[in-house]
Amino acid sequence: MVMGVRILVAVIGGALVISMVTEIFVAFLLPRRVKRDPRLVRTIFVYGWRQWRRISALMPERAADTMLGIYGPLGLIVNLIVWLSLLILGYACLQYGGGSHLAGPGGHVVDFGNDVYFSAATMVASPPAGLTPSTTWARVLQVINAFSGLGVAAIVIGYLPALYQAFSSRETTVSQLDARAGSPPSAGRLILRSGAQRGWVAVAEYLSGWEVWAAELMETHLAYPVLAYFRSQHINQNWLVAMCTVLDTCALTIVCAPRGSVDSARFTYAIARHAVVDLSYTFHKEPIAPAHDRLPPEDLRELLRQLREAGIEPAAEVPRIEERLARMRAFYEPYVNAIADHLALQLPQWLVPDSPTDNWRTTEWH
């Protein structure tokens, strides 16, 4: 009976160790495909995020945004704690299944608590002086346990700088959008400010720089999905709003500019749309159309009027622009909206007047 229990515990321990090592390998080292995320990581993040959002919804806007911004880094720490705890438990189960061959000051004592203590101390520091392995099985487990702890530490040390470098690179470009598109950004403002001197050609040249950013964001956020939960420093800026603003601007530029003059906007639109589709798929979120039209016909006509006044003349008639723009928006808006709904973010407007609240015009003192 006792032998059967020990075998069962050893099997459970082996399964825990293999599962956690696999999880850590997939989460930190393996270049992931669009829909191949670690099961435990996803379960913790999805469940925890739902509860976190419910709590933040009860707070004022700024406090809620701060609360939501804490979730990404905190969730990463929680995952590491869970992985390490289950690894420690798995090695303790293997020690217990092998007979708990640990010798202490009072001699050999069969005690699962000692197995857990020995496993934890071996993994995170050094073996406790009061317990020593007395059999080959126990010594082998000790060595593997110690190597696991060193491996996890090395992986985390290499992972965190890469994660924060990707975050910093993302936010640097998002911040650059402020002066041209405002805070919060809008496609209308971006086109009016960027095309004031040379029209659609200048807008397309500016958009070409966002092609690389969109591609890098897609790759980093597929490799490190936790990055999507890291929020920007300003409440009126974030990576998804920037991505949506760029897509809006590309779409309007493509349908309004003379054919063949803005190919760079087409390339940026293509990679940005690819990014939001893949990220929506990664989060397992079905595309859903926004509850309200972000650019009703009257707003589009007003935007086109403002463009004409600024000397940025559309190269097509209004009905043609409406038809083509609606078709292009349908290719990306449902995916952006699904991600925004999941991350509790607001999609940007198309038509926003110039505002003195742009981040570059204000300070925390005013």
Are 18 and 124 contained in the same domain? yes
Q: Is residue 158 part of a domain?
A: no
Q: Is residue 148 part of a domain?
A: no
- For the cut 70, the answer to whether the pLDDT of residue 196 exceeds it is yes
Give the domain range for residue 346. Answer: 165-361
How far apart, in whole angstroms, are the C-alpha atoms of residue 245 and residue 348? 7
How far apart, in whole angstroms, are the C-alpha atoms of residue 310 and residue 312? 6
Give the chain's domain count. 2
How far apart, in whole angstroms, are the C-alpha atoms of residue 234 and residue 61? 12
Are 301 and 353 contained in the same domain? yes
**pTM of the shown model:** 0.83
Report CA dihedral (225, 229, 234, 240) to the nearest 10 degrees.
Answer: 60
* Residue indicated by tokens 């800026």: 237
The radius of gyration of the chain's CA atoms, rounded to the nearest angstrom, is: 27
Domain end marker among 94, 119, 134: 134
Q: Is residue 103 part of a domain?
A: yes
Are 304 and 170 contained in the same domain? yes
How far apart, in whole angstroms, are the C-alpha atoms of residue 13 and residue 355? 60
Are 342 and 291 contained in the same domain? yes
Are 67 and 212 contained in the same domain? no
Q: What is the mean pLDDT of the chain?
A: 84
Q: Is residue 332 part of a domain?
A: yes
Are 123 and 182 contained in the same domain? no
215-252 pLDDT, tens digit per residue, is 999 988 888 888 889 988 777 788 999 999 999 999 99
Q: Is residue 143 part of a domain?
A: no
162-175 pLDDT, tens digit per residue, is 888 888 889 888 88
Which candidate, 285, 283, 273, places its Cα nearest to that of 226?
283
Taking a C-beta distance cutoff of 8 angstroms, is the pair 161, 173 a contact? no
Are 174 and 266 contained in the same domain? yes
How far apart, in whole angstroms, are the C-alpha atoms of residue 179 and residue 182? 6
